[in-house]
Amino acid sequence: MPELPEVEVVRRGLERWVSGRIVADVQVLHPRAVRRHIAGGEDFGARLKGHRIGLPQRRGKYLWLPLADQPSAVLAHLGMSGQLLVQPEDAPDEKHLRIRVRFDDTLNTELRFVDQRTFGGLSLHTTTPEGLPDVIAHIARDPLDPQFDDAAFHEALRRRRTTIKRALLDQSLISGVGNIYADEALWRSRLHYERPTTGFTRPRTAELLGHVRDVLYEALTAGGTSFDSLYVNVNGESGYFDRSLDAYGREGEPCRRCGTAIRRRPWMNRSSYFCPRCQRVPRVAS
């Protein structure tokens, strides 16, 4: 499942292979892939045709392709299994090809949105004066954004009546962190996922943010990691790297710090992996 590092790898690929090109034609092969484009696939294609693609941008797990000549952008979310591929025009269609974008040039490559589980999609939106698609105005800056405000995050964390992993996955507080990297950052911070955010001290928040950034940077350096072999970067090269994770997916294996078996617990229709010794369950405040 692509998280921030994987999406950034895709963004860089698009910057290299798609920026500056003019859209000639769009084929929407599955309506669900454009469900966020309310006017539908026909309208999506018509509005893109003839426009030049600008510099691809990213916030958290969203990325978008601004149109160079007007304040709008093609917003993309990869969901669970989405891929943006730049393929030769004569390459056979992928089994789960959902959208094809052809360009008005002689490079003989096209952009393809491929998505097995169809949690992802493309849509066209007006951009704010800051260049942000209007529908993602509620998405917080991500921790690799130079303008991410650590102090404001700390205050927001303390105001919330919630627990730390919920907060890390709340894209309106901090974006780009998914289930895998949340568990990794919590393991490094020796924090249990159910620890209430209310009692967080400034140093504790600072340490956690540091680990979040480290985990994301390391994954980005490795080229993005994912347990889902479906994930492929913009050129179709596998983005699956053997980076060893410390908590996620390691149920029953020894904690790399203390040797205790890592546990998996059902949590919010997903799983949380943690070391029961390093990451103690917080005492319930009554």
Kindly list the catalytic residues. 2-3, 61, 270
d(CA 102, CA 111): 7
d(CA 99, CA 121): 9
d(CA 275, CA 180): 15
Least Å distance, CB 103 to DNA, is: 27
- Alpha helix positions (H), 141-275: 150-159, 164-169, 179-189, 202-222
250 appears as a binding residue in the annotation: no
Least Å distance, CB 63 to DNA, is: 10
135 or 152: CB nearest DNA: 135
103 or 273: CB nearest DNA: 273
A 10 A CB-CB count for 17 gives: 18
Least Å distance, CB 243 to DNA, is: 15
Answer whether 33's CB lies under 8 Å from 44's CB: no
100 appears as a binding residue in the annotation: no
95 or 283: CB nearest DNA: 95
Least Å distance, CB 110 to DNA, is: 22
Q: What is the DSSP string of 4-50?
A: HHHHHHHHHHHHHHTTTPBEEEEEE--GGGGTTSTT-HHHHHHHHTT
d(CA 190, CA 115): 36
Q: Which residues bind DNA (CB under 7 A)?
A: 1, 3, 32, 60-62, 77, 79-80, 95-96, 116-119, 135-136, 138, 159-162, 166, 169, 171, 175, 178-180, 227, 248, 264, 266, 268-271
96 appears as a binding residue in the annotation: yes
6 or 17: CB nearest DNA: 6
| Residue ranges of the binding site for DNA | 96, 117, 160
